[in-house]
């Protein structure tokens, strides 16, 4: 399962598409337009936009994510964020013991995103794009920048 919001999150995720080349994958994203584009590559799902400031939208996204997790039963979730990626990582880890790979955005130079900080404890691989952040997140790994 590949989870990324529209914009920079999906751009960064698609930059490493060789990592899952040949694998059976599905995308979970936040806009219908992006879902339609991603369906040309693999199965894709739309959950909608949400953030911590929009409680009712977040509840709707939560239940859409839960439905997708139960339907797809992913072995691995790879996400660049944001909130729906965090939700999917926790759900997959708690329900199916899925592997979780989080790639934090290159824009987070001082600390990982809020979603990244939440996912860090359950991640199997937590990738930072700034080497200086390894001091604060010792379980994380740094491979350079994706963009």
pLDDT in tens, 12-39: 999 999 999 999 999 999 999 999 999 9
Token pair belonging to 32: 């219908």
CA–CA dist 81, 5 (Å, integer): 6
Cα radius of gyration (the chain): 14
Task: Say what the pLDDT of residue 51 is.
Answer: 84
pTM, two decimals, is: 0.95
- In residues, how long is the chain? 147
Task: Say what the pLDDT of residue 52 is.
Answer: 83
Token pair belonging to 146: 């994706």
Q: What is the pLDDT of residues 60-88, one digit of tens each?
A: 999 999 999 999 999 999 999 999 999 99
Looking at the DSSP assignment, which residues form a beta bridge with residue 46? 29
State in Å, rounded, how far the first CA of the chain is from the last one: 21
144: left (phi over 0), alpha (psi -120 to 50) or beta: left
């Amino acid at each position: 399962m590949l989870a990324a919001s529209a914009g920079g999150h999906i751009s960064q995720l698609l930059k490493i598409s060789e990592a899952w080349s040949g694998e059976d994958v599905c995308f979970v994203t936040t806009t219908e337009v992006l879902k339609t584009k991603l369906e040309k590559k693999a199965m894709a799902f739309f959950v909608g936009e949400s953030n911590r400031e929009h409680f009712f939208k977040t509840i709707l996204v939560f239940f859409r994510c839960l439905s997708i997790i139960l339907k797809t039963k992913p072995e691995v979730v790879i996400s660049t964020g944001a909130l729906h990626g965090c939700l999917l990582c926790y759900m997959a880890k708690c329900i199916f013991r899925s592997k979780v790979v989080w790639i934090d955005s290159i824009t987070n130079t001082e600390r990982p995103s809020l979603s990244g900080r939440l996912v860090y404890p359950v991640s199997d691989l937590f990738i930072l794009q700034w080497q200086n952040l390894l001091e604060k997140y010792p379980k994380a790994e740094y491979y350079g920048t994706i963009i």
